[in-house]
Structure 1
Amino acid sequence: MYNRKKTLVILSPGFPENEADTTCLPPQQVFVRALKAENPELNIIVLSFQYPFFAAKYNWHGVKVMSFGGMGRGKLFRLNTWMKVWRTLSTLNKKYEIVGLLSFWLDECVFVGHYFARTNNIKHRCWMLGQDAKAGNRYARRIKPRGEELIALSDFIVREFNSNYGVKPQNVIPVGIDTSLFDSLFIEKDIDILGAGSLIPLKRFHLFVEAVAILKQRYPNIKTVICGDGPEKDKLLALIKSKHLENNITLAGELQHDDVLKMMQRSRVLFHPSEYEGFGSVCLEALYAGAKVVSFVKPMDADITNWHIVNDMAGVEQTIHSVLDGTDLENDPVLVYDIRDNVRKMKEVFNI
């Protein structure tokens, strides 16, 4: 006789391949790890569609992970992955008492989760985490989710999705900070400006380079670092060289999550030039690391301490100038959302 243990199943396009893999979806890692730590009696199973690029079953911080190795392949390969996930969900539904399905991003995970939940009378919720709220999401058009099925990462995502699809997500749960991941020792702030994220066109790191070029006129020895990797790397290197900023900007590449946090604690400013952002976890992490944040996108309606929203490059220059000149001296850690509070909100959504 099967033990009908209460189980929450998480559907995700990717998940770390082992506990040492801290570069894969750090905010989701922090959430799942905290969810398990705060609820050790809850059986949590993650079904990962595309990454890791192999099929396996393994334990991750006490959470069972089942990867399907879809590898991002399309058409028949993707359909085959969906069928495997569906069969696995059917098996899990017989073995356990599934208290809910939680899908990360409104994409293929929601497509499978929505219809499996409806077929089997299980609660399903989708955590919308960014670009999935944009217009043109074919999965949103296909399943036409109700507001109660959607959890938005920010107030910005609520407005964006409601504007594009006429449906208002009923819950808002932002990313949260695990304060235990930060070094408690004093770290000298020897980096003037930090950037962190994937080097893709959406993140607009060319504006980071432009900002440094402008600020160098006043601060010749300005020291900046960009953490991350991606297809825009060569373009950024060429731009840095063309503006003679080789001694001012370091491309650090993709770093382990704890190394990025240490880099934040060394930084005075995090400049996040992205043109679109659901709620950048790097911004919240930087605030807790004692850095100021400068960005173009305002995720929440309420103002956040030490987070400066600007409209143009003149605003970027003026704001960072005030920090580097020492007129903005507040460097205490700012904890906006504790991951434990976010876990409790998610538990309320699923009544667990």
Structure 2
Amino acid sequence: MRKTLIILTPGFPENEADTTWLPDRQIFVRVLRDTYPELNIVVLSFQYPYQSREYWWNGIRVIALGGKGKRGLLRRLLWFKAWHKLKQLHKEYEVVGLLSFWLDECAFVAHQFAQKHRLKSYAWLLGQDARPGNRYVSRVVTDGSNLIALSDSVVAEFRKNYGVSPQHLVPCGVDPAMFALQPISRDIDILGAGSLIPLKQYHLLIEVVRLLKKDFPAIKVVICGKGPELQQLEERVSRYNLAANIEFKGEVPHPQVLALMQRSKVFLHPSSYEGFGNVLLEALYAGAYLVSFLRPMNEPFDRHYVVADVQEMAQTTAQILADKNRDHWPVLVYTVTQMAQGIMKIFDLPLTVMPQFDESAVQLPRTISAR
């Protein structure tokens, strides 16, 4: 029987062209497949796609349960359906373990199934699930041995809120193969990318641009993403007479976001909370300078400026834009291959084949650990 890792997730791309749905998670799954070609990977997706069906995504079997976010009795029926699928997979394959994206209903079902069948099961804390009010913590967590944190900040947040420290740490990483190699003109001064929701605080990015326009009247800013805050943000841009400076791109396919990063001088990330946004590492590898309010890891990254408020964010960005001698060499912090290795180390699976890429022009990544 083929060794199989089952990944449980709230959502997964409905096809290979769906690059905007959790791009960091789907890159991880794809590179995990490439790094461990002898390992069979099955994805069990609870809520999205909205249709209950099975399909193949980049050679990986995906079982969509079609939950559509329903609650009450229908939610419990979804868990029963997930359990039934897990029983079928357990008979069909040699299951080496269950990996849940986020500590949520997926982790709850996986934990219960793993206990019954004596399987390894880990929940990967990815950000919001480490904050207060997670009702699944008491159902899944005992001593933290079955928890993987995405960053040092997630470890600290979870410990603060629940008194338990996740015992494993696997940060996110970038796939260097997804970036263009040719030199690109840096014609965008500031780039922002993410969901336009209150948590991301894109109104503060607009405030920064308002302050910078005094010294950089032709400043060019691009914001990628969609969300309920769009109209308010557009109204703020109009009120500050910044329509000629700020362009809203809407939801952009992930490869195009990376291309925009390679055209940008500064990536501003005004979010008030983040598990470890992969866009931070992608922006650094794209050669942009990163300015944010948050530090995901205890160890600082090169060209990442952590600021305290809007005034400092504007001052730091102004200094970067004014420096005509700056370069835009890629900064590689962690690779997604290292992330795959970190996860598989926890499951005690050895590395078989490791993809290669050219490291000649980048900073070597820091050591990734599964502790």
Structure 1 length as normaliser, TM-score?
0.98
Gaps in structure 1 of 5+ consecutive residues:
none
Superposed displacement of residue 137, structure 1:
0.6
Which deviations, in whole Å up to 9, do the C-alpha atoms of 1:246-286 show, x marking residues without a partner?
A: 00100000010000000000000000000000101001000
> Residue in 1 aligned with 2:181?
184
Report the counterpart of residue 135 of structure 1 in structure 2. Answer: 132
SS in 1 for 2:88: helix
Give the Å deviation of 1:142: 2.9
Tell me the amino acid that sits aligned with residue 73 of structure 1: K
- Secondary structure of 2:281's match? helix
Tell me how many residue pairs correspond in the alignment.
Answer: 349
Q: How does 1:20-169 map to 2 (within 5 A)?
A: 20-169=17-166
Structure 1 stretch 110-119 or stretch 73-82: which is displaced more? 73-82
CA distance in 2, matches of 1:75, 1:339: 37
Mapped contact 2:195–2:225 kept (Cα < 8 A): yes
Q: Which residue of 2 aligns with 1:278?
A: 275
Runs of 4+ residues over 2 Å off in structure 1: 141-146
The residue type paired with residue 139 of structure 1 is Y
| Cα deviations by residue, 1:290-315 (Å, 9 ceiling, x for unpaired) | 00001101100001001110011121
User: What is the aligned partner in structure 2 of residue 346 from structure 1?
Assistant: 343
Is residue 314 of structure 1 aligned with residue 308 of structure 2? no
Amino acid in structure 2 at the alignment position of 1:29: Q
Once the two structures are superposed, residues 216-243 of structure 1 have per-residue CA deviations (whole angstroms, 9 ceiling, x without a partner) of 1111110001000011111111111111
What do the CA deviations read for 1:28-85 (whole angstroms, capped 9, x no partner)?
0110000001111111000000001111111111110000111111112211111110
Q: Distance in 2 between matches of 1:151 and 1:240?
A: 40
Partner of 1:226: 223
Q: Give per-residue Cα distances to partners, 1:15-40, cap 9 Å, x unaligned.
A: 00011110000000110000001111
Distance 2:306 2:107 in 1: 32
Residue pairs, 1:168-247, within 5 angstroms: 168-247=165-244
Amino acid paired to 2:321: L
For structure 2, list consecutive stretches of 5 or more residues without a partner in the other structure: 350-371
The whole-number CA distance in structure 1 between the counterparts of 2:243 and 2:291 is 23
1:327 positional shift: 6.1
Aligned partner of 1:240: which letter? V
Find the counterpart in structure 2 of residue 295 from structure 1: 292
Secondary structure of the 1:250 match is strand
SS at match of 2:64: strand
Pick one of 319, 324, 327 that aligns with 2:321: 324
What secondary structure sits across from 1:138 in the alignment? Answer: coil
2:12 is equivalent to residue 10 of structure 1 = no
Structure 1: distance between partners of 2:138 and 2:200: 26
Distance in 1 (CA, whole Å) between partners of 2:113 and 2:155 is 25
Maintained 8 Å contact 2:208/2:311: no
CA contact (8 A) 2:121 2:146 kept: yes
Query: 2:197 corresponds to which letter in structure 1?
Result: I
Contact 2:47 2:69 in 1 (8 A): yes
Q: Distance in 2 between matches of 1:145 and 1:205?
A: 37
Using the size of structure 2 for normalisation, the TM-score is 0.93
Partner-residue secondary structure (3-state), 1:50? strand
> How many angstroms does 1:95 deviate by?
1.3
CA contact (8 A) 1:322 1:328 kept: no
Q: Distance in 1 between matches of 2:80 and 2:343?
A: 28
SS in 1 for 2:145: helix
CA distance in 2, matches of 1:77, 1:256: 33
What amino acid maps onto 1:335 in structure 2?
L
Residue type of the alignment partner of 2:60:
V
**C-alpha deviation, 1:328, in angstroms:** 6.8
Residues in 1 aligned to 2:325 and 2:151: alpha-carbon distance in whole angstroms: 27
Name whichever of 263-272 and 70-79 sits farther off.
70-79
Cα distance, 1:345 vs. partner? 1.1
Partner Cα separation in structure 1 for residue 68 and residue 291 of structure 2: 35
Task: State the match for 1:337 in structure 2.
Answer: 334
Q: CA 1:328/1:199 → structure 2, altered by over 3 Å: closer, same or farther?
A: farther
Paired letter, 2:271: S
Percentage identity across paired residues of the two chains: 51
